[in-house]
Chain A
């Protein structure tokens, strides 16, 4: 009946109990709050079943913030362990718990924070920037979110029921195979990524269609904002890279469930194939994360420099170059696997070449500032912090792309420091810049600048305090994923790194405070104009927050920085006659049900409760059929209603 799910699945050490209980109580608290304020219907009708890209975007970001908090706690726990676990002291975490933490940290941060925030921002901003009313497939968008969210749920569920993988986030077989890891941990890992990956894939298709088919009149490809170009690049990468991951994980799954011996070390299996396939997805994945961050900075810098973006065409070509190159560099993740020098050198050189288009982008941003009028708001602070951090991260990356140098740094803390430098400095800072920049658009009020700058300084200084020691430790021969070491000389550096994490946590604290404070004082900080930053692109031409249909009349565009030139030549005035009934998609619960049933199906596979798996799969098929056959999926917003909403906006 319960497969291999027995009471032993609930047995943990006290730290795991504390983590699990705090999560359960947190969830109960939220449920109690919703019940107390009688918000269940509101939550269901306005959010869970919503197909509005703005609401889906907000849900992505809220979910990612929760996961970010979780990932940061993981990080703090690891650093606390390493600050003490030297010599005779084994620290407070057992090896088996520690390995789950670093695996969960990686998966959380890459898949459910990095991907989550970027899909959130793309969802929010992209349709508005191209003057569309929604994405091409609104229902699919909702479905994507639920796949993503239920995938992330596994990381939380594993805190209470069973365990998470103890293999590192990349889970190489044979360690991740049934031979060395027969437990449910790797299965949780597998399905959390697989489910969210399906969501990601659907989103990729959705946004490519949106960008190609839903642009407003006059916006040809070379007039799109760079953020849209960046998102376009990101989605192309998603569509080409994610099938590799899905296929690879499917093979690992059959290895584990049905002994197909594809990646095992005997019977003709080959674990090296997994490593190749994993990184054939894994390296494009890095650019899936960083491209939208580049896009965000390409929006932020011109607005706050009050100047056109420098080198638009260069920017587009740089994105294109990165796109192609990102698929032919994967081997640099394992120069040490024993490929011949010619193969290694080829992949090393290809990797270095990526530095060229990336450098071009950096110089273009810098020369956008040149002879501008810089307004040094929080997003600009994040940008300046990004330039410093990311350039260093890029340099260490080029260093590691030289195979012979990489032999001495690979898998060491130098590597860990390198990819945190590019991911925190690039993706995270980029997201924070975009978050502050677009917050007033979707919430209708601004975030506090002062708290934002405190947060920035804590993050920036904290980052360097936390990761500079790791570069040094790497040179000292310290590898990643150590829960204990016996060289006392390493400890001071680990202690410094732990202090850095405290600063980063303080930064995160300021951000939470910033959001709370902004909600409390929202009436003083309302953005009534819809254009609080003197923006340049179409999203600023509508109200904050935008009406459900985004634009009462779809805009017409004749240049880049469309809204900027509209403001110069006089904004178009619309009257009653211009309004036409707007065709909109209806909310649907199918996405949520398909999501939760897929979750149950895979839960059944993880615990060998095959009846549950089959039943849930039947349910998924039922809901797909139901949705496909549904006729009543759309409605019209009448002219009167548009008039009413628009009149309210114009006061």
Chain B
């Protein structure tokens, strides 16, 4: 009786835990699982498919474990068969070299295809002219440069919906990683390197973005807001920034590159349209040590 009670209690607890987490998942917006961009949706589907495939191995393992541990226990196990010298069986062993291998084969094909399809360096083509945004990871803030629109922003990025976004990413700081979970996976931001990331937002919305690779003491505050708006709203916003903002060229950049934490959102009118290239070039032509 006591034992049955214990088992019932633990089953209840496990079910309760599962139910609670299910409730939590439903009631909270989880960006990776409820994505809002085409790339992120494909990545989510990939995660779900791969997880289901793996259950083909995981579930039998769980069943075997508990069934064998129960059935063949010495105390109270009763008259279950006992073969102390049985140590080898070709069919069985072929099975567990073979079946997982087939699953891995299926996963490999999935991997090969998805890795090429979702290559972050590959432009998205949907007929709309893409927008180019350059992101620079600094200590400890994000600078976004819109070379074509002649503006720049800090810790805030806006783009039109349904338009492919070509991010060019670098760092003038230790290595960071650029990540907007609701729109799609990340890529490293490294000094002297230009990474590319192609994302798209399916609807109008607001998303959290942040650095995902530890870059020093201000790292926790390296977040930014990503906003997807309609084409017209975007144009108005660009005009506002261009007319109201402070100006940003290489000279002003020298000031904002200094380490700072939890910086507020700022807007700039871009005076050096090749600022991004200059930041990259700084690493090729070493400055004199001060």
Contacts and interface: CB of A to CB of B under 8 A. Distances in A.
A455 B83 CA distance: 32
B85 interface: yes
- Of A344, A355, A398, A407, the most chain B CB neighbours within 10 A belong to A407
Interface centre among A370, A392, A405 (most CB of B within 10 A): A405
B286 A349 contact: no
Interface stretch (B110-118, B124-132, B159-167): B110-118
Interface stretch (A109-117, A212-220, A307-315): A307-315
Contacts of A487: 208
Interface in B243-257: none
Interface in A313-351: 313-314, 334, 336-338, 340-342, 344-345, 348-349
A54 interface: no
B72 A372 contact: yes
Contacts of B174: 172, 174-175, 180
Contacts of B50: 398-399, 402, 405
Contacts of B108: 349, 352
A483 B32 contact: no
Given A166-B216, A373-B72, A411 B87 contact: no
Nearest to B66: A384
Given A391-B57, A484-B221, 17 more contacts: A95-B218, A271-B175, A336-B177, A344-B115, A345-B115, A345-B116, A356-B100, A373-B74, A374-B72, A404-B118, A411-B177, A411-B186, A474-B32, A479-B211, A481-B219, A483-B220, A493-B24
30 contacts: A99-B217, A174-B175, A180-B216, A266-B286, A272-B190, A307-B83, A307-B86, A314-B97, A337-B188, A345-B115, A363-B64, A363-B96, A366-B61, A367-B92, A369-B69, A372-B82, A372-B84, A384-B65, A398-B50, A402-B46, A402-B114, A405-B43, A405-B46, A407-B120, A408-B43, A410-B186, A411-B177, A411-B212, A475-B33, A479-B212
Given A369-B72, A472-B21, A483-B220, A311 B32 contact: no
Contact of A348 (B44, B111, B175, B286): B111
Q: Which of B31, B32, B43 has the most CB of A within 10 A?
A: B32
A175 B61 contact: no
Contacts of B80: 371
Contacts of B62: 388, 391
B118 A398 contact: no
Contact of A477 (B82, B87, B208): B208
A95 B217 contact: yes
The 3 tightest CB contacts between A and B, nearest first, are A407-B185, A477-B181, A175-B174
Contacts of B217: 95-96, 99, 166
B166 to A, nearest CB: 15
Given A266-B283, A348-B115, A366-B65, A355 B192 contact: no
A337 B121 CA distance: 11
A338 B47 contact: no
A339 B276 CA distance: 22
A10 interface: no
Nearest to A403: B115
Contact of A305 (B25, B72, B214, B286): B72
- For the side of the interface on A, what is the size category? 35 or more
Nearest to B92: A367
A73 interface: no
B30 A476 contact: yes
B43 A407 contact: yes
B19 interface: no
Given A168-B214, A359-B96, A374 B77 contact: yes
Given A404-B46, A405-B43, A410 B84 contact: no
A265 B283 CA distance: 7
A408 B181 contact: yes
Contact of A403 (B75, B111, B175, B179): B111
Nearest to B28: A489
Contacts of A67: none
Contact of A353 (B83, B88, B93, B104): B104
Contacts of B216: 99, 166, 175, 180
Nearest to A362: B61
A405 B51 CA distance: 11
B58 interface: yes
A183 B290 CA distance: 19
Given A476-B30, A477-B210, A486-B223, A340 B185 contact: no
B116 to A, nearest CB: 5
Contacts, number: 283
Interface string B164-198: 00000000001101010110111110111101100
Given A344-B115, A475-B31, A480-B214, A407 B186 contact: yes
Contacts of A412: 212
Contacts of B112: 345, 349
Given A356-B97, A477-B210, A336 B87 contact: no
Interface string A437-481: 000000000000000000000000000000010001011110111
Contacts of A344: 115
A308 B85 CA distance: 6
Contacts of B5: none
Contacts of B110: 402
A174 B61 CA distance: 44
B81 to A, nearest CB: 5
Nearest to B210: A479
Interface string B201-235: 00000001011111111111101000000000000
A371 B72 contact: yes
Given A96-B217, A311-B93, A408-B44, A371 B30 contact: no
A277 interface: no
Given A371-B82, A376-B73, A311 B88 contact: yes
A341 B115 contact: yes
Interface in A379-396: 380, 384, 387-388, 391-392, 395
A370 B111 contact: no
A267 B104 CA distance: 43
B214 A167 contact: yes
B46 to A, nearest CB: 5
B242 interface: no
B215 A384 contact: no
B101 interface: yes
A589 B115 CA distance: 56
Contacts of A338: 120-121, 187-188, 193, 195-196
Nearest to B88: A311
B187 A341 contact: no
A338 B195 CA distance: 7
A369 B51 contact: no
B241 interface: no
A334 B190 CA distance: 13
Nearest to A302: B87
Contact of A271 (B17, B68, B73, B190): B190
B85 to A, nearest CB: 6
A502 interface: no
Nearest to B211: A479
A175 B175 contact: yes
A371 B182 CA distance: 50
Given A174-B191, A352-B111, A402-B46, A371 B83 contact: yes
Contacts of B25: 472
Nearest to B96: A363
Question: Which of B61, B75, B104, B115 gathers most chain A CB within 10 Å?
Answer: B115
A141 interface: no
A375 interface: yes
Contacts of B220: 95, 482-485
Contacts of A388: 62, 65
Interface string B28-48: 101111000000101110110
A272 B175 CA distance: 10
A360 interface: yes
A395 B186 contact: no
A345 B111 contact: yes
Contact of B185 (A353, A406, A468): A406
